Amino acid sequence: MDKQTILVEVAYALPDKQAILPVEVAVGTTALAAAQQSGITDKFEGIDLENAKLGIFGKVVSPGQVLQEGDRVEIYRPLIADPKEVRKARAARVKERKAAEQPG
């Protein structure tokens, strides 16, 4: 590797399958460009890189974030369930369980 390129990783995970791909990119490459160059969409169907949230080591970044040597670009999946609704449903189940346990 010369000074014109850097080595980064692109990561994506499903509950049952994960991949971290090493990618050599030009200095000045963005997070989105590295994800596109990685070929990750060939390994996982349905990734929409243009609209996916991206991060570097757990911190959300813009697709235009310029990468540094050793960065790991993470492609985040969209949430399937609204966290607020999940908490409401869980609280309702707990309330029902407590009501059922009370004698009367």
Do 37 and 23 touch, CB atoms closer than 8 A? yes
Computed over its alpha carbons, how large is the radius of gyration of the chain?
Answer: 20
Mean pLDDT to the nearest integer, 77-87: 78
C-alpha–C-alpha distance, residues 37 and 10, integer Å? 9
| The listed CATH number (3.30.450.40, 3.10.20.90, 1.25.40.80, 3.30.479.30) that belongs to domain 5-78 | 3.10.20.90
First to last CA, the chain: 75
- What residues does each domain of the chain span? 5-78
92: exposed, middle or buried (Cβ count in 10 Å: 0-12, 13-18, 19+): exposed
- pLDDT tens-digit profile of 56-67? 999 999 999 999
pTM for this model (two decimals)? 0.74
C-alpha–C-alpha distance, residues 78 and 60, integer Å? 13
